[in-house]
Amino acid sequence: MRVINTEQLKSILANLPSNPRVIASGNFSAPRTLLKIADEVIPEFRLHMLNAHGDIPDRDGITYETAFVGPAMRNHPRLEYIPSRLSLLPVLIRNFYRPDVVFLHTSQQRFDTVSLGTEVNILPRSIETARAHGGLVIAQSNKQMPYTYGDAQIYDSEIDYLVEVDEPLQEKPATPVTDIQAQIGSRIASLIEDNSTLQLGIGGVPDAVLMALKDRKGLRIWTEMFSDGVLELSRAGTLDDEILITASFIFGTNELYQWLDLNKKVRMLRTERTNDPSQIARQAKMTSINSALEVDLFDQANASHVRGRIYSGFGGSTDFIVGALHSRGGQSFVALPSWHPKANVSTIVPRLQSNITHFQHSYVVTEQGVAACFGHSQNDQAINIIHNAAHPDVREELVAQASEFGLI
C-alpha cells in the first residue's frame, strides 16, 4: 500500500482504461473525496454503489449501476438497475460486474490494517475481484470513521493506494415515530419473545419495534443493518451479552459511531455471510421485519416499484424472510400502514398489479391489526388479511374481489 495525496491520485485515475467500472462504498459511507476527484479526471465511468445517498457525481459520461436504488440515483435517466437479492450480488460482482477500481471509505490505519467501519456489504468481494483481475483498490482513510471488526478489517497489502482525509460521517436525522408506526411497532413487538434474534431495517416501524422491546431479555441481533435503536437496547440490558451483534452496515448518529469504535461486541460481516439464508436460519427464533408499499390477498408484497418503475430493489428482504421461516421458532413480518395518505388509496389490494418483491410471510401487520398468513390456506390468508390488516373502508370491496378469485 502506498500513501498518496490528491494530486497523485488524479494522475493515477486519469490513466484508467476507457469507461472503467468504479465500485464505491455505498449507503451512508460514500467516499466523497475519491468520488470528487474521479468526477474531475475520468471522462466516462460506470459508478456502482448500493443505496447511494447524498451528493455523488452526476454528469454526462457517468452511468449509474446498482442492485438497490438510493435517493441519489432514483428515477435517474442514466441508471441501470440490476435485479438481485443482496446475498447474490457478490456473485454478480465476481462473474459479471467486475470492477476496474474500488473506492473504499475506511478508518485510520491500525497496525497493518484499516477498517471498513460502518459499511462492509459487497466491498470485500469487490476488493477480491479487483485484485484477481488487475483492478485497483483505493481507500480514503478518515479520522472520523470508527474502527469495526470482523470482515471490516482489511490488510494494507489488499490496498494499492490510500489517501488520508478528515471529513464528518453522514448522520441519521432525527425523525419522530408517527402514531401509526407506533401502533404497528407495538403489535409486532407483542409477538416477539425473549431470546429472539432480530433483523430490522431503518425507519419509523423498526424504531417503534425496538422501543417496545426494552422489557425483553436475551435478544440477539443478526441483521443487514442497524441504527441507534440497537445501542438503546444494549444500554437497557435487553441484549444477550454473550452473543456478538452481527451486521453488514450501520447508519445513525455520531454517538452511535463513537460507540462502534473498537467495540468488540459488534461484528461486521460481508453480505454473503449476513444475508445467507442458511446462516440466517441457524439463528435462534430468527425474527425478520420488513416493510412494503402494498400487499395483496395472496400475501404477495411490492416493496420495490412505484407505478411500475423501480424505486429501491429486493435488498435483503427475500434473504431474511426465507431464513427466518426456516429458523426454529422463527417468524417473518411485513409491515405497512393500511392506507396511503398521499395517494388516498388502500395499501391492501386484491391482487398486485406491480412487481412482486417478496411473499410468504408469517404475518401482515398494519395499524388495523395482525393478519396471520404462514400455516394457513390461501383462503384463510385472504380472510385474515381483509379482516385484520385492511382499512375498514375497503373491506367490503376486498371481500367481493376475494369471492371473484374463489378465495371466499
Q: What are the residue numbers of the active site? A: 224
Q: Is 262 left (phi over 0), alpha (psi -120 to 50) or beta?
A: left
Sequence letter at residue 257:
Y
| Cα separation, 388 vs 384, whole angstroms | 6
Which residues touch 307 (CB under 8 Å, ≥6 apart)? 354
| Cα separation, 260 vs 65, whole angstroms | 30
Closest CA to 74 of 307, 290, 241, 274: 307
Contact 286, 197 (CB under 8 A): yes
| Cα separation, 367 vs 188, whole angstroms | 10
User: What would you report as the CA-atom Rg of the chain, rounded to the nearest whole angstrom?
Assistant: 22
| Cα separation, 279 vs 330, whole angstroms | 13
Strand (E) positions, 245-368? Answer: 245-247, 249-250, 266-268, 286-291, 294-296, 300-302, 305-306, 309-310, 331-335, 339-340, 345-346, 348-349, 358-359, 363-366
How many CB atoms are located within 10 Å of the residue 261 CB?
A: 15
Block residue for cell numbers 472520523: 144
DSSP letter at 118? T
CA pseudo-torsion sign 23, 28, 34, 38:
positive
Rounded to the nearest 10 degrees, what angle do helices 204-211 and 179-189 cross at?
50
Which residues touch 118 (CB under 8 Å, ≥6 apart)? 27, 28, 29, 145, 146, 148, 169, 249, 250, 251, 257, 260
| Collapsed DSSP state (helix, strand, coil) of residue 36 | helix
Which residues touch 82 (CB under 8 Å, ≥6 apart)? 65, 66, 67, 89, 92, 97
